[in-house]
Structures are given as C-alpha cells and as structure tokens.
Structure 1
C-alpha cells in the first residue's frame, strides 16, 4: 500500500458484536473474525482466563475487546453482559450465541438421566433464549442488528443416542425462526448455522482415529475448520446478507446433501 492509498472498508467497521461461548473453538474463531472485519468484540464464557487471553490477543492486534465472564443459564448474568456491552461501547449491532454444554454421552433415550437432559436444555436452548431476550432490546435501541445462533447438523438430522443435544439443537432452529419473524420488520435479522464435524477441542481430544472416521464420512472427505464457520458468521452479521433472515445454513462439507457416490476401496 502506498502513502496515497487508504485501507479498504471492512464490513463491520464501527459495529459492536457479542460472542457467547467465546473462550475456544468456533466461538474464539468467530470473535477473531469479527475483529478482523472491523467490529469491537465482547467476549462471554465461563472461563475468565481464556477470555482475558483472547481479549489481549485482539487488543494487541489493534482491535477493541472486552471480556465478560458469563454463565448463560443465569438470567441476571446475561442481562448484565448486555448492559456491560452497551455501557462500554454504546450499542449492540451483532450477536453470536455459540455457548453450548451440558448433556450426556451417547446413551439410549430411556437410560438418559433427567438431570443430564435438563442440563443440555439449560445451556443450548434456554441459554440462547435468554441471550436473545436481552440482546434484542439493545439492538432495537441501536437501530437494528443481526443475530447468529449456533445449531448443528444434529439440529437438522437426528443422531442416535444424543437425545439432549439433538432435541435442543432442533429446538434452536425453531427458536431462531420465531425470533426472525417477530423482528423482521424492526431491522433485526436472526439466522442459525449448522456446523458438521469441525476440528475443535472435542474432536482433538477424540484422537486421530475418530477424526479420520469423521472425515471419511464427509462427501468432501475432510472435517471443517473453525475459521470456515467463522467466515459464515461474519457474512450473516454483515450487510452482505441483508435479505437473509430465519435461515439455517449448514457448514458441513455436503453431509446433509445425501449419500455420496460409491467408491471402490483405494479409489
């Protein structure tokens, strides 16, 4: 760039974005991508140390970031998170509701502990409801905004043994559509993403064999990267998707498209 050139405008310059579940994985990648797109970023999760480290990273890269440790199952904590955002930056333009947790390992439905099922509901579905309940009034006061809720391919196609996770992620698609309809004429767009297998900490801990099996089951023969989900987050938060609301976009390497063609071993 010469001295006469000016930097190209970024799609989220001057905007403020909030990310829950921002401590790692897709949430952290989304926060970095939103920062690179020009937004000030508010980071929320239960892990204070991880949030502070990410906030420092973004700040050192020339951005604005605020870490607010938050339990999304606590209404008062979520209300404080949004109030802190508006007190610090004066507005809220975008939100990525990515926090997830609770639930149970693969278990036949009749053997699922009630408390485990309830824990998935509390974080994955009720937590997103609480986030939107407080994000939406702040966005209305800012003149509109965009919300991205993190569902899953398991919210569009069931996975046996995961009653808690699947039911909450299916519910999240419905909740997204209701919010989109409620606020479509008020300048707030609400969409969801449905990632397939993504190389985050969970798949890392599962080991190389599990990652290879997951990749082999994908039509593209690989698993996704958090940055690929984050790119879709930025698009849905920007004006480039200005006529998109109530949609659920799979980020899945073709997983939900159907059965890939037969291939001979070694082909």
Structure 2
C-alpha cells in the first residue's frame, strides 16, 4: 500500500445535501462502505448499515448514533434470500421507508489466481455475493424505492471490469455483471422515477485491499492521470452526487472514479 496518504479529507460542506433521505448501504461496516455511511450521515441522511460483519457494523452505528447521527445496523448475508428480505424490511421499519440503496457489499476471493487456477467453489461464492446478492437486495428494496419520490440505486462496480484486470477473473466478471445489471434495471425502473447508476472505483486504499501485492498498487499509481493513491473520500463524493437531486436525470450510467487510470 502507498506510504503517502497525506490527502485532505472532504469537507462535508462541499458535498450535496441528502437531508431527510433514507439510505440503505450494504457492506457498510468497514472500508468504502463505512466511508459512504459517514459521508451520507454528515450531509443529513438517515442511514442503515447492512453487513455480515455484525460487530464492526454495530460499532460504527453506535459511534455515529452517539454523535447524533440517525444511523442503525441490520445484519445480512447477501447469499441468503431470506436474510436479504429480512434486512430490507428491518431497514425500512427503522427509517420509515427506503429512498436509496447503495449496493456496496462484495467479496474478492479470487485475487492472485489465473483463470485456470480458479475453483468452481470460488467462482460460485463470488457470484453469489456480488451478483446474486446485488440483485436480491435491489428486489427486496424495490417496493420501498417505488413508494419514494426520490428512488435511487447506486451499484458499486469496479474499474477492473473496464480494463480486464488479470488474476482476478471471478471478481472482474462479477463487477462486469453488476454494470450490465445497472443498465437493465435503469430501463426497467425508469417509469417509477427510480435512477440506477454504477460507480467503478479503482484500487482504493482500504482494509479490503491490504492483501493486494505492492506491484499492483504501483501499477495503478503509475498509470493514473492523477498520480497518487486513491482513498475512500475520492469515491464518496460521486456516490453522494448520484444519490442527490443534482443527478435526478442521470440513470443507466457507469462512472469510473480512478484518477484517470481508465478513461471511459
């Protein structure tokens, strides 16, 4: 990972307001998801974290709630349709509805292995969480999104699906599926006024990428038009934009957020 992360945090005043919005964020217990939770709460949103990491999720919710932010936690296993349905129902009950869903929950698992080294079990695990789980959660939240006057879905994809990252096939394929799903859902949900977009981050400096070899971090760093490490705050602004009224006529789009590593 990069040794130089002296990057100023975003000022919440520079972010679009989400005052009064009710937002469900999967995979929000740590990493990028936790950054989304903190940022959304900072600009006035009511947030429910949905994650399989119960201790971390409850701790983050308790921390923010103690500071006066309306943040709660629900447990979810994105591989389990019943768990997903329970989580969406519980989140809606906590907030009095769901205006927006950020599908951030995902796993990697296949890192470092070539296509011929992958096992069926690894492939299925990644697809179950990243693709099936995204679909299940979106369907579980759909009745509440339809009832909202500000229905928003933001899917967290990856720029690996835009440039074809080697030794990461299952994850790359899953994120390509998320991008394709985004476009179809945008067309299917448009008549209800629901926007569906995707963010495709680059390699972000978070806990989940600590295992990534140093040479891959250098490859990203040297290939970016903005030659520095990518931090969670670099992604929160674009996500909040897509959740806001400023993006009310943006749907079916994929926004790479990677410092110009991929220009799309």
Q: TM-score, normalised by structure 2?
A: 0.89
1:190 and 2:196 correspond: yes
> Counterpart in 1 of 2:50?
44
How far apart in 1 are the matches of 2:110 and 2:213?
Answer: 19
Larger Rg: 1
On the 8 A contact 1:82/1:138 being kept in 2, the answer is no
Structure 1, residues 29-50: CA drift from partner, whole Å, max 9, x if none?
A: 0001110111110001111110
Structure 1, residues 130-175: CA drift from partner, whole Å, max 9, x if none?
A: 0111111111123341010000001222112222111111111010
User: 1:19 pairs with 20, 25, 41, which one?
Assistant: 25
Tell me whether 212-221 or 36-45 shows the greater mean CA deviation: 212-221
Displacement of 1:108 in angstroms is: 2.3
Aligned length: 252
How far apart in 2 are the matches of 1:169 and 1:18?
Answer: 20
User: 2:257 pairs with 248, 251, 261, which one?
Assistant: 251
1:60 and 2:96 correspond: no
Tell me whether 213-222 or 232-241 shows the greater mean CA deviation: 213-222
Aligned residue runs from structure 1 range 200-215, under 5 A: 200-206=206-212, 211-215=217-221
> Counterpart in 1 of 2:205?
199
Q: What is the SS of the residue equivalent to 1:256?
A: coil
> Counterpart in 2 of 1:147?
153
> Counterpart in 1 of 2:232?
226
On the 8 A contact 1:102/1:116 being kept in 2, the answer is no
How far apart in 2 are the matches of 1:146 and 1:158?
Answer: 28
Q: TM-score, normalised by structure 1?
A: 0.88
Displacement of 1:205 in angstroms is: 4.5
On the 8 A contact 1:22/1:99 being kept in 2, the answer is yes
Where structure 2 has 5 or more consecutive residues not aligned to the other structure, the ranges are 1-12
> Counterpart in 1 of 2:6?
none
How far apart in 2 are the matches of 1:198 and 1:102?
Answer: 14
1:33 and 2:30 correspond: no
Tell me whether 42-51 or 101-110 shows the greater mean CA deviation: 101-110
Displacement of 1:58 in angstroms is: 1.4
How far apart in 1 are the matches of 2:182 and 2:47?
Answer: 22
RMSD: 2.1
1:135 and 2:141 correspond: yes
